[in-house]
Structure 1
Amino acid sequence: MTAPLPGTTEVPAADAGSSELLARLLSGPTGIGTNSLRPASAPAPAMEPPPVAATPVSEPPEPLAAQPSSSQRIEGLYCPPAVRDDRALADEINDRLVEWAEKEVGLYPDTELREALVGFDAGRSVVLCHPDAPGIDHLMAAARLLIGENAVDDYFCEAEYGGSADRRGAALAVAQSAIDPAHNTPRYEADWRTGIDSHPALRSMRSAMDYFYALATPAQAHRYRHDIANLYLGYSAEGDCISRHRTPAVWEYLVQRQFNNFRPCLTITDSIGGYELPAHLFAEPAVQRAVALSSNASTLCNDLYSLRKEQAGDRFHYSLPTVIAAEEECSIEDAFQKAIGVHNDIVHLFEEQAAALSAGNPLVARFMTGLHNWMCGNHEWHAGNVGTRYATSP
């Protein structure tokens, strides 16, 4: 019998106030739909970075009133509240995503899968995670990439859609080429294009990347391609363990999770915010540590909220709570509490790192705020899906 998930507590989404970290950083959110959520006391940035050179995007709509929904947060799981939650804007993005999926890339064509796409609620995810986006086109760019990444995971990693753990490496190499084009002789490049055109997940990633190119610099696009390659490395490591029913040690699992995580979504925060953290600053070891910590915390949040759902399935599954339970020979309830502690420690380490970095450079501070916004928005998105997508009863 599957052990129940430890208690949750009801809290409103986008609660008033901001975290201690955000108070130390430069400013509150400035994107569409954030006027009522921006702290009045937030200081203005010392320097406004120049916008990314990009093709024009549509004018953002008038700010929409935030409409937070109730959520079920895991008791004891630390993460400050998201700074924006706008249901009307999220619905608009979801509608546009469905139109793109159906008319441009032929993704999830039947009614049941279309409902799954809407139910995933990528619109709310990007609204929560990117409160500084200057317009809806920027939010749509993030949402298309998110849907494309999930399509690759579904089709090449999940048995329900035909994926196989022992064949995913080869499939993911082809998936990488959808955003990192193959360069061969004309004949084989033509064969490659035909192969990409033949699969909905590959079409989705190629199309999403094309939209991303319209607002990202070449360095930002290269950064994203690199992080997706790392993501697929993590998928392959997971596939190896699943195919052999092997539960890794906790330290090995955390290494896997640093690759198989949400990092690609976090590292585009400047692109979606309409500015660029230059490559030499992004590559600084201290900045890379902050990116890794915020990405790891965001992904362990997923481990905790999805535990019941995964345990209720019939496939071999491992996550931070299950690997802790195996290694320490403790109950899943005790392991769950220990995993909460690991998550919380990583969030605090990120906040310390981000605060130190923010004190010296306003552009880095802006990027740190973006990472923090994404981490907090991701937590709220998971908490808002309790009882539907996550933490379902066994």
Structure 2
Amino acid sequence: MAALTTGLPALAPRPPAAPAAAVPSAAPSRTPASYTFPTTGTVPRPATVPPPTGPGPLVRNTPPPAAQAPLTAPGRIPHGPSGLGTRSLSLATSPAPPARPGAPGPAPDGPAPAEPPVADGPAVPGLYHHPVAEPDPVRVAEVSRRIKSWAVDEIQLFPPEWEGEFDGFSVGRYMVACHPDAPTVEHVMVATRLMVAENAVDDCYCEDHGGSPVGLGSRLLLAHTALDPLHTTREYQRPGNASLHSDAPRRAYRSAMEHFTHRATPSQADRYRHDMARLHLGYLAEAAWAQTDHTPEVWEYLAMRQFNNFRPCPTITDTVGGYELAADLHAQPAVQRVIALASNATTIVNDLYSYTKELASPGRHLNLPVVIADREGLTERDAYLKAVEVHNDLMRDFEAEAAALAASCPVPTVLRFLRGVAAWVDGNHYWHRTNTYRYSLPDFW
């Protein structure tokens, strides 16, 4: 996830931002006794997706456009429950929901930063994906304004000369597209701050803006204490806390996590910390290969990408949606498999759309087409096309497993969480396709 930012020299301290008001979370739901999960990590795929049992679509916020022809894989998540209290489970395309009483509204002063215009870039030919409705431009503008204010005024994330690159990332449009069920702008901001912070760490510690594989483990360990606080003696607690303000990535992690925990339940926060530890482990594996100039086998690369991937983003879809998938449900092997497949597929999307960008960057960047070409002796074009097939297989598996899980455990929070993950998958592709400021496709067709 290469992105946008760097550390800065110490600047004059600014008044801390007022913490966001806590939103009461829904009581954790438990699996009804009549629903049982399989005892293994794989849900048996049904021969056919169960027929709809509710009045509206459960998964997509897609327009009815001329989308690509559906594949022969099992359908998406089936319709959900009907009856009192279930209407809010629909993610059908609709205007942005009104803010709750007391929720922060658009600021009266300060224009939103100008994002690059949305370009209807071509999708990777042959890539299995679903179109999404254009994200609400009013909400996009407000999220863009707030995230830039946070980055510049609250944590001093990047120097002025990198402002264009920050704007070009179009993170407001990205997060609004990925979280169509977020009840307020501030809920979207929870995801947006975390996304920017994760990319700051990736860039500054690992990649484009001063990153290096040398000493990466130490930097990531110290940054992780901004997410998973250090508990030590009073004498050593003070310098540990002070270190969280020492560079831009740690300031970003600390602040984004602080905002997140105001809205997340303890189990949601712990889930996120776990997924960030997974991400950091993936960074370290990739760094080890870079230091030894090693090209992994394709399966080894895919194993690394299961950790160094987008998983921390869709895993918080319930927090951003203002509800909670209870810890005992989230931990089920069937749920974990669906999350892993979705996260792996979205990460291969990044490999495909960033392919030419990485080839033009200094040094050698590992991505799936590069590894396939090297290890399987294919041309660049054939390796790229095979990587598309790998993505499509992951997407088919994700959709089949999600449909089977929804049929075997139609608990409302499970169904809504599966919809949220599917929406994130589609929004992630939308952002990659339309962000022509960052990405262009190779000339293989």
Correspondence for 1:138? 187
* 2:357 maps to which of 288, 291, 309: 309
In structure 2, what is the Cα distance between the partners aligned to 1:56 and 1:317? 48
* 2:368 maps to which of 316, 320, 327: 320
Is residue 155–residue 201 contact of structure 1 (8 Å, CA) maintained in 2? yes
TM-score, normalised relative to structure 2: 0.75
TM-score, normalised relative to structure 1: 0.85
Supply the AA of the counterpart residue of 1:152. Answer: V
Supply the AA of the counterpart residue of 1:298. Answer: T
Deviation for aligned residue 1:83:
4.2
Correspondence for 1:48? none
- Residues 254-293 of structure 1 correspond to what in structure 2 (within 5 A)? 254-293=302-341
Correspondence for 1:198? 246
Deviation for aligned residue 1:31:
9.1
- Residues 1-394 of structure 1 correspond to what in structure 2 (within 5 A)? 15-16=63-64, 20-21=75-76, 24-25=79-80, 27-29=89-91, 33-34=95-96, 58=103, 70-108=120-158, 110-158=159-207, 160-359=208-407, 360-361=409-410, 362-386=412-436, 388-391=437-440
Supply the AA of the counterpart residue of 1:74. Answer: V
Superposed CA offset, 1:28-63 (max 9, x none): 42798358xxxxxxxxxxxxxxxxxxx9961567xx
Superposed CA offset, 1:104-159 (max 9, x none): 11110x2222222111111011111000001000001100000000111111112x
Supply the AA of the counterpart residue of 1:294. Answer: A
In structure 2, what is the Cα distance between the partners aligned to 1:338 and 1:298? 16
The count of corresponding residues between Structure 1 and Structure 2 is 355
* Segment drifting more, 354-363 vs 233-242: 354-363
In structure 1, what is the Cα distance between the partners aligned to 2:229 and 2:325? 25
In structure 1, what is the Cα distance between the partners aligned to 2:300 and 2:264? 34
- Counterpart of 2:363 in 1: which secondary structure? coil
In structure 1, what is the Cα distance between the partners aligned to 2:78 and 2:105? 27
Structure with higher helix content: 1
In structure 1, what is the Cα distance between the partners aligned to 2:101 and 2:214? 44
Q: Indicate how the Cα distance of structure 1 residues 338 and 320 shifts in structure 2: closer, same or farther if over 3 A, else same.
A: same
Deviation for aligned residue 1:327:
1.4
- Counterpart of 1:183 in 2: which secondary structure? coil
* Segment drifting more, 79-88 vs 285-294: 79-88
Supply the AA of the counterpart residue of 1:206. Answer: R
Gaps of 5+ in 2: 1-60, 82-88, 107-116
- Counterpart of 1:235 in 2: which secondary structure? helix
Deviation for aligned residue 1:393:
7.2
Is residue 84–residue 127 contact of structure 1 (8 Å, CA) maintained in 2? no
Gaps of 5+ in 1: 1-12, 36-54, 62-66
In structure 2, what is the Cα distance between the partners aligned to 1:169 and 1:343? 30
CA RMSD of aligned residues (A): 2.3
* Segment drifting more, 237-246 vs 80-89: 80-89
In structure 2, what is the Cα distance between the partners aligned to 1:157 and 1:238? 9
In structure 2, what is the Cα distance between the partners aligned to 1:333 and 1:57? 54
- Counterpart of 2:123 in 1: which secondary structure? strand
Supply the AA of the counterpart residue of 1:121. Answer: S
Of structures 1 and 2, the larger Rg is shown by: 2
Deviation for aligned residue 1:71:
3.0
In structure 2, what is the Cα distance between the partners aligned to 1:171 and 1:56? 42
Is residue 135–residue 173 contact of structure 2 (8 Å, CA) maintained in 1? yes
Q: Indicate how the Cα distance of structure 1 residues 169 and 57 shifts in structure 2: closer, same or farther if over 3 A, else same.
A: farther
In structure 2, what is the Cα distance between the partners aligned to 1:366 and 1:275? 9
Correspondence for 2:11? none
In structure 2, what is the Cα distance between the partners aligned to 1:89 and 1:363? 25
Q: Which has the higher contact order (CA 8 A, sep 6+)?
A: 2
- Counterpart of 1:73 in 2: which secondary structure? coil
Q: Percent identity?
A: 44
Is residue 281–residue 287 contact of structure 1 (8 Å, CA) maintained in 2? yes
Is residue 29–residue 83 contact of structure 1 (8 Å, CA) maintained in 2? no
Superposed CA offset, 1:3-30 (max 9, x none): xxxxxxxxxx964369841564565427
Q: Indicate how the Cα distance of structure 1 residues 351 and 57 shifts in structure 2: closer, same or farther if over 3 A, else same.
A: farther
In structure 1, what is the Cα distance between the partners aligned to 2:441 and 2:254? 33
Deviation for aligned residue 1:328:
1.2
Is residue 77–residue 399 contact of structure 2 (8 Å, CA) maintained in 1? no
Deviation for aligned residue 1:102:
1.3
In structure 1, what is the Cα distance between the partners aligned to 2:293 and 2:362? 13
Supply the AA of the counterpart residue of 1:245. Answer: D
Is residue 30–residue 132 contact of structure 1 (8 Å, CA) maintained in 2? no
4+ long deviations beyond 4 Å:
17-20
Is residue 179–residue 188 contact of structure 2 (8 Å, CA) maintained in 1? yes
Q: Indicate how the Cα distance of structure 1 residues 268 and 204 shifts in structure 2: closer, same or farther if over 3 A, else same.
A: same
Is residue 247–residue 323 contact of structure 1 (8 Å, CA) maintained in 2? yes
